[in-house]
Amino acid sequence: MHRKPAEIERLYIDFDCFFASVEQQLQPKLRKRPVGVLPFMSKASCVIAPSREAKRYGVKTGMRVKEVLSLCPDIIFVPARHDIYVQLHQQIYTTIENCIHIDQACSIDEVVCTLLSNERKQAEKLATQIRDALANTIGPYITCSMGFAPNRLLAKLAAETEKPEGMVIWQPQDIPKKLFNLTLPDIPGIGRGMQHRLNIAGINNIEALWALTTDAMRKIWGSIEGERFWYGLHGYAIDPIPTSRCMFGHSRVLTPENRIPERARLCARL
What's the angle, vertex CA 192, arms to CA 188 and CA 198, rounded to 5? 85
The predicted structure's pLDDT at residue 248 = 47
Q: Is 7 among the residues known to form the active site?
A: no
The predicted structure's pLDDT at residue 247 = 47
Task: State phi, psi for 7 to the nearest 5 degrees.
Answer: -155, 175
Catalytic residue among 9, 23, 53, 110: 110
Residue 163: partners with Cβ closer than 8 Å, 6 or more residues away: 14, 16, 145
The predicted structure's pLDDT at residue 73 = 97
The predicted structure's pLDDT at residue 15 = 97
Counting Cα atoms < 13 Å in the Cβ hemisphere of 196 gives 3
Cβ atoms of 154 and 213 within 8 Å: the answer is no
Q: Pairing state of beta strands 167-169 and 144-149?
A: parallel
The predicted structure's pLDDT at residue 265 = 76
**Total residues found in the chain within this entry:** 270
Listed as ranges, residues in the chain with pLDDT below 70 are 1, 239-255, 267, 269-270
The predicted structure's pLDDT at residue 107 = 92
